[in-house]
Structures are given as structure tokens and as C-alpha cells.
A and B are shown apart, each in its own frame.
Chain A
Amino acid sequence: MNPEIPLGGDKLPDLEAVPPDAAPIHPTWLHPSSLVFDLLSHFRQLLVPVGLAIFSAANGHATGMFIAFAFMVPAVLRSVFQYFTLRYMIDGGELVIRKGFLFRSLRTIPVNRIQNVDLVQNLLHRLLRVAEVRVETASGKETEARLRVLSIRQVEALRREIFREQEVLGKNTRDIVESESAPTEAVSNLASVDAQAGQTLLTIPMERLIRAGLASDRGMLLIGVVAGLYWQLDLENQFDLRGLLDFIPKFDGSVLNTLIWAVAIIGILLLLRIVGVFWYLLRFHGYRLSRYGEDLRVSCGLFTRVSATIPRKRIQFISIHRTLLMRWMGLAAIRIETAGSGGGQAENASSTVSRRWFVPVIPEEMLPGILAELRTELELNEQQLDWKPLAANALSRMVRKAVVFSILFGVAGYLANHTWGWIAGVVALPLLVWWARKKSKAMRYCRTEDKLVYRSGVLHRKTSMTFFDKVQTARFNQSPFDRRWKQARLVVDTAAAGPAEHVISIPYLDAGFADLEFQNISAIATTMQPDFG
């Protein structure tokens, strides 16, 4: 333990800064504080019994207490039991986890199958200098193994063993951490750093996080939370909302009231943006993306620190997102996908950060540098790509769709209000046509020697790519409409699980071109040896 690290701020013990233990080649226990964390994780289930116990004790009834203890004691015993029976070790290239006494379970995970090792540290973890470890493989959506909790030294030893980075860690790492404040926040150049050592690729200064927060719609979450609370706590019946409504000035056109309204609306919008900023600061404070040989490591978080290690070759899918505001500010975000875990319900804090928010914000000019680090020889100059357009009649089809929709809007409006309702259709028409034009312009597909690139989106632009050695299946789909327009949709499936929220599924392609590409993609994919890990 390192006593000189004070508690507080970002000087809390950082995962990277601690020399590792010896490799866990003998069966090793979890950190003793596991007992506490395991109990805490069951806290929710214990809440009722504990409450009952306190209540009974307060009322002087012993029976209630006994019943409560009947629930609590097994939980405590289970945690103790689990702690004392769980051992892990690295043996013969496998992570071995044994647990149980009567019913024993032995889980062996070949180290070369491990997709990534994620760490989560909340404040309590950080005070005790421990971390929760999640080991992910490509299988399914579940975390393969969860070690709650290991000391930082144990974590380092495990990580080092798993990713075979013996030379990287230790003193080298410490040096890099300490020199982090140096002005090399841009893409560091390969030559200057020992190729074996971890090199910091990217850090995000506070100012940029604030800009990203302002550009993001994260604040909208606040509305959701407020609405949720409103319904959950049944506030409707607890407050006299009528009285509140009376307090709101009527929108009657008087100067004062209009002014109040304007200020209120601006205030709310500003508040939402500020919430976004706070969210970004909380989540990504001290963000650092670094590279250790063939592994990438992301760590960030103000209170709960998350650290994830992702082998480069495990990256299935890279997606660049740019919202309208981000584009105005010259910013972009990078999301990546690895096989297996992540996506949907199973997504946990660490995989969310390390995949969905892989690089939460990056200035446009630094983008190519970072992309080049994600995959060998990955070059992406979006302007210079040989983008293939949609079918020649794609725009006509989209415009026709827009016309049909505006007619529907008009009819619906007319049914709602016979005098003025039809105007909805008239207003919708130019907007939808404009949208269709923009959409058809934004949607492009490109196949290069090693990858497939697809971009789409009018306001929220997404450019995604996958690589031929990651392509699992190719698909050519034709709906009856597609057949009428001699178009088709081209779909490429990868093992990626979906946090990038963009799949390579290109509609409105010329049927002949789509069929040719369909054949080509599968032909090229066949020649590439896949990396099942």
C-alpha cells in the first residue's frame, strides 16, 4: 500500500499506478473486503429484513427480530462461504475459478479467448484500493466471470498475466501516468515512446468535456428522470398542481408575461445542457485512452472509475458519431464494438463506457490519428473514399414516400379539424421532401480492400466500418417495394453486439449492384481467416 496518496480528487489510487503482485499461479483468494462488497450487493434483498429487525427492536418484539435474522444470517453466511470457497488462478494459459464446497464449480477460461477485462471502482472500492473485475469472452451476452473484488495489485497481476504485458507495467506505467500532464494530449507519436510501453493516445481536457456536454442531449435524461419520479412517487396526488398552474403566468401577449415565458424556456434549455455537462464530467473525468502493445485501455470516471482493456484485434466494428451540434463545434465521438457482451439489457457500466463511449469526444483533426491506432493500417479519410451512391431512382422513391406521408398527414389533420387540419399535410410536404433529399445524400456505401464503410444520418451522422475478417454473413434482401423499384438492401452481419447503434444495412441500393456486392463481400470474407479468438 502506498500511504502518500491522499484520498480525494483524482489523486485517489489509480489502477495504472500500482505495481502488480506476483502472477496468481497458485490458487488465490479474493480480497478480504469482498465479504463487505458481496453483502452490499445483496443489500437490496436484505433491506426489508433489516427494516423489520429495526422496527421489531424498536417495538420490543423479539419474534420479528428472529424472523428477520432468519433471512439475514443465511445471506451473511453465503457471503462468507462464497468468500472462503472461491479461488482463482492462472494455470497453463487458462483462468481457473473454483468455487463451492459441496457443490463445486470449476470454470476455466482460456486466456486467449478473453475479449476484455473490465474494472469498476466506485468510491468505496477506491478507498479500499480494490476493484471489481469482469472478464468477458465472446460467448453470449453475459459476463463470463466476475471477481468481486480484487486488490489493485491482484488486478494488475491478473491483467498482466492475461495480456502478457510483463514489460509494460511496473515502473514504465508509473512514468507515463506522471508525465500525463505534459502537453502530449494529442496523439503521441510512436517513435518517442518505447513501442512496448503503454503510450497515452488521448486524454480529454476539461474544456472539451464541457463542450461535449453542451453538445449532447444527455440533459434530456433529466426530463425522463423527473417524469419517472413524478409517476413513481405519485406526486400528482401529493401536490396541489392546480395551485402551481395558477402561479404560471398566462400566455396572453403582455410584454411582461412573454418575457417571463422566454426566460423560463431559455432557463430550462440551459439547465438541460448543464445537466449534460455534469454527466460528461462525472463519467469521463480523467479520461485516458492508452495503448499497451496490442491492447487498448480506457479509464475514466470522477467517482466511479472504470477501466477497460480491449485487445485491438477484438474490435469488430468502429462507428464515428457526429450530432448536429458536435459538427458545429468540430467534434466527433467514436464507438467500438467487440464480440459478445454489451448491447441491450446486459450492458453494464464498464462495457457502456468502454464501447458505447469509447472515445466520448474528439476534435475532428485528431480523428485519423486515433483511428490509425485502433487497427493496423486503418486509414479513413472520409472525403477521399470512393463512396458508392444509392440507386439512381432512390431519391424518387424516397420523395414518393414523403409525398404519401404528407397526404396521410393532411388526411389525418383534416379528420381532426375540417377547416384548417389539412394544412399539416401542406407543411409536412416540403419538410419531408427536404429530409428525403438530405437523407439520400447522406447515405453512402464504400468497400475498400479491407473494410466496408457505411454512412448515414441527416442530423446525427454516423459513419461505421467493419472489416472483412469480421464479417460473418452477407445478406441481400428485397421487399416487394424494392422489387418494384429494382432496388435491394444489403446487410452485413458481424459478431458485434450493438452499442454503436448503427449496423451495416444499406437500403435503396440498385439491385444489380447490391447483388454484385453481396457476392463480392462473401467471396472476400471467405478468403480472410476469421478471428474467433
Chain B
Amino acid sequence: MVTVSNDTLNGSSMQNSQIEPDGERPDDLINDSDYRSSERTDRSAESGFAATPSGNPEREFSTSLGREAADSLPASTESLRSTESSLGQSAANEKAVEGQFYTLDLRSIKAERLGNAIFTCLLLLGALVWVAIRWWTEGVDLFFQILAGASLILVTAFAVFSWIWPKKEFQYTQWRATNAGLEIHKGVIWRHRIIVPMSRVQHADVTQGPIQRLFGLGTLVVHTAGTSNASVDLAGIDHQAAIEVRDMIIRFRSGRQERHA
């Protein structure tokens, strides 16, 4: 059990830990027991939204996420933080880290895998149908054997890939919503970090696909007036959390407008 508070996120603790990005991950922490806890709400209210404009973080980012959930936050989150800081060492001490980063919901790995499994099955089915037709019409020749072997290997490779990839994505994705804006880090090979300042959000939606619904997940989509990043989405977080973040963004905007009026 690890309690993550603001302290662990501040520069001092971050600089000292230098774990290479591709180094050891506590994979054992991402185990089945984690998946099963459907009440898991690691996006707890501890500090992430402490800076909401109307000031009361506990009330602002409330209830459905459960406060005790902070205890169940996987240690991997912490190691992610440390990992990130190894990138921007020089910047780490000057940077004012004001909000806590969250990982995706652990259930998102399972949801992704389910989606990928369905796709793999369809792929396999297609390959099988093709093989059957080819066998029926042309019989077995060398060309057939090569193609059948290749498609088998491809499907297997895809299956393996689609099993590993969601976990990789999970490991490299983190986000936070502070009064500075919504910040998302993602990408396994090509890494991206994006910040959408709160005042630039035009509107925000929460969407939920069928598989996501099965796992209680959602996608937060934030729209800006920009061109190349006109909408920024964050898929695979707890549905309730997505709704809370959306509401928080809306509150932020309306609060701001009142002040400017």
C-alpha cells in the first residue's frame, strides 16, 4: 500500500530517482486482483483537484471516487512519476508541480485486451475462411502452405501484440487536471505530453463505448478552438471520474465567466 501525497510529487523526491523508462516496472502489481476490484478508484480526491477555483477540493471533486481509494493506488504510479522526471531532470527543480498525476484505470487494460481479442478473433476467422476457400478451390500447394503459415504467424503476432500493448499503454499514460489545465502524457514509442489550459476548453464530453460500458470506463474528450489539436481525448479512465473532471472543467469555466462579468 502506498499513499501518494503531494510530497512524493515534488521535485526533491523526483530528482533522486532515476529509473530508465524501459527499466523494470513492477508488473506484478498489475495483477488480477487489481482488475477485479471494480470499486477501484485510484483517482482519489487527495490532491489532484486541490486547486479548483471555488476552493474546496474535497467537496469539488467528490464522493463517487471514494477517499479511501488512495490507499489502493498501485505503486506503479509512483514509479511512473520517477520515470517521467528522469526525462526533464534539469527542469524538475524549477517546475512547480501542483497536482497529482493519475494513471489510467487498471480496468482499461482488460477492456483494451477484450477489444483486441474480438478483433483478433475476426482476423483469425477471416484467415480461416480464406484458407478454407483456397483449400477447396486450389488444393494444397507450396504457395498455399507459405501463405497459410504466414497468416497464422501474423495472427499469432497480432494476438501477442494486442495482449502486451494495452499494458504498455497503461504504463506510459498519465494525466492530471489542475487549475492550470488538463495535462496528458501518453505514447509508448512516440511520447506526447499535452496541456489544455482550462480557459481554452470550448466544451468537454464524456463518451462510452460498449466495451467501456462493460468495464465502467469512459473517454473524456476536451475540445479547444485550436486547429491541429482541436480535440484532445483521454480514453480508459473511470467513467465516473471522467464525468467529474468534465463537471470540474465546466465549473471552472462558469466560475471564470462570472468573475469576468
Contacts and interface: CB of A to CB of B under 8 A. Distances in A.
Interface stretch (B103-111, B137-145, B225-233): B225-233
A512 B90 contact: yes
A167 to B, nearest CB: 29
B195 A473 contact: yes
Nearest to A511: B87
Contacts of A138: 225
A138 B189 CA distance: 35
A529 B189 CA distance: 35
A265 to B, nearest CB: 42
Given A472-B224, A503-B228, A530-B200, A477 B191 contact: yes
Interface residues of A, number: 37
A325 B232 CA distance: 41
A532 B202 contact: yes
A373 B46 CA distance: 49
B88 A511 contact: yes
Nearest to B84: A515
A480 interface: yes
A510 B88 CA distance: 9
A513 B87 CA distance: 10
B195 A483 contact: no
Nearest to B98: A523
A339 B181 contact: no
A512 B89 contact: yes
A337 B21 CA distance: 39
Contacts of B225: 138, 339, 472, 495, 530, 532
A20 B92 CA distance: 61
B95 A473 contact: no
A518 B228 CA distance: 17
Nearest to A476: B193
Given A472-B200, A480-B189, A498-B227, A526 B194 contact: no
A526 B199 contact: yes
Contacts of B260: 529
A522 B181 CA distance: 8
B88 A496 contact: no
Interface string B176-202: 000111010001011111111111101
Nearest to B189: A480
Contacts of A511: 87-88
Contacts of B94: 516
B157 interface: no
Interface in A105-140: 138
A503 B227 CA distance: 11
Nearest to A139: B225
A254 interface: no
Given A522-B181, A529-B260, A532-B225, A478 B191 contact: yes
Nearest to A519: B95
A244 B193 CA distance: 60
Contacts of B228: 491, 493, 503
B195 A515 contact: no
A451 interface: no
Interface string B91-103: 1001110000000
A532 B253 CA distance: 13
Interface string B211-242: 00000000000001111110010000000000
Given A522-B180, A526-B179, A532-B225, A513 B194 contact: no
A474 interface: yes
B101 to A, nearest CB: 13
Given A519-B91, A522-B181, A494 B227 contact: yes
B196 A473 contact: yes
A87 interface: no
Query: Which of A513, A526, A532 is packed against the most chain B CB atoms within 10 Å?
Result: A526
Nearest to B90: A512
Interface in A405-429: none
Contacts of A512: 87-91
A523 B260 CA distance: 19
Interface string A492-513: 0111111000010000001111
Contact of B199 (A478, A510, A519, A530): A530
A479 B179 CA distance: 29
Contact of B88 (A339, A474, A515, A528): A515
B258 to A, nearest CB: 13
Given A478-B191, A516-B90, A529 B229 contact: no
Contact of A523 (B180, B187, B191): B180
B227 A493 contact: yes
A518 B94 CA distance: 13
A269 B225 CA distance: 44
B91 A473 contact: no
Contacts of B95: 515-516, 519
B51 to A, nearest CB: 11
Given A475-B192, A512-B90, A515-B87, 15 more contacts: A473-B197, A474-B194, A477-B193, A478-B87, A478-B187, A480-B190, A493-B228, A495-B227, A511-B88, A516-B88, A516-B91, A516-B95, A518-B193, A519-B96, A532-B202
30 contacts: A472-B226, A472-B229, A473-B224, A474-B195, A475-B195, A476-B192, A476-B193, A477-B190, A480-B190, A483-B191, A493-B227, A494-B227, A495-B226, A496-B227, A512-B88, A512-B91, A513-B91, A516-B88, A516-B95, A518-B195, A519-B91, A519-B95, A519-B96, A519-B195, A522-B197, A526-B180, A526-B197, A526-B198, A528-B199, A530-B225
The 3 closest A-B pairs by CB, nearest first: A472-B226, A512-B90, A515-B88
Interface of B: 21, 87-91, 94-96, 179-181, 183, 187, 189-200, 202, 224-229, 232, 256, 260
Interface of A: 138, 339, 471-480, 483, 491, 493-498, 503, 510-513, 515-516, 518-519, 522-523, 525-526, 528-530, 532
